[in-house]
Amino acid sequence: DDITAPEALSRSMIADSIFSGLSEPARPLSCENASDRVDRLERTILGLKARYWALQLKKGLDLSRLKENPGSTITDPRLKSRFYALLDSWYRQAAIPSLSEREVRRFVDIDRQAYRLYHDCNI
């Protein structure tokens, strides 16, 4: 699963896809238990998300240039803490493998769902 992703799957492509305001037509969204649902979604990709952002930081990404902090949609304090611990652990590695194409698709799809739910439900 740690196959290097093609260079065409750049950080900006992924970040733009995740944080672009989601251009596809919006379906009605239920906000019942929204914060729990966001955290359940985030939990399924926590390792991928931490590895992805650690790699971007290693490549010189300045987090202050992002519209949103990568962990901002995680509402559970323990889950958020685990995300940042994983990110730190990956960042400290000498080499961080890029996400495979399949991992990128999974990450983007699930993080997009969490992001939309988080923002549309004003969590």
| pTM, 2 dp | 0.74
H-run or E-run covering 83: helix 77-91
The per-residue pLDDT for range 42-99, each reduced to its tens digit, is 999 999 999 999 999 999 998 888 888 889 999 999 999 999 999 999 999 999 999 9
Angle at 121 between CA 112 and CA 106, to 5 degrees: 15
- CB 42 within 8 Å of CB 109: no
Helices (H) and strands (E) in the chain, counts: 4, 0
The DSSP symbol for 75 reads: -
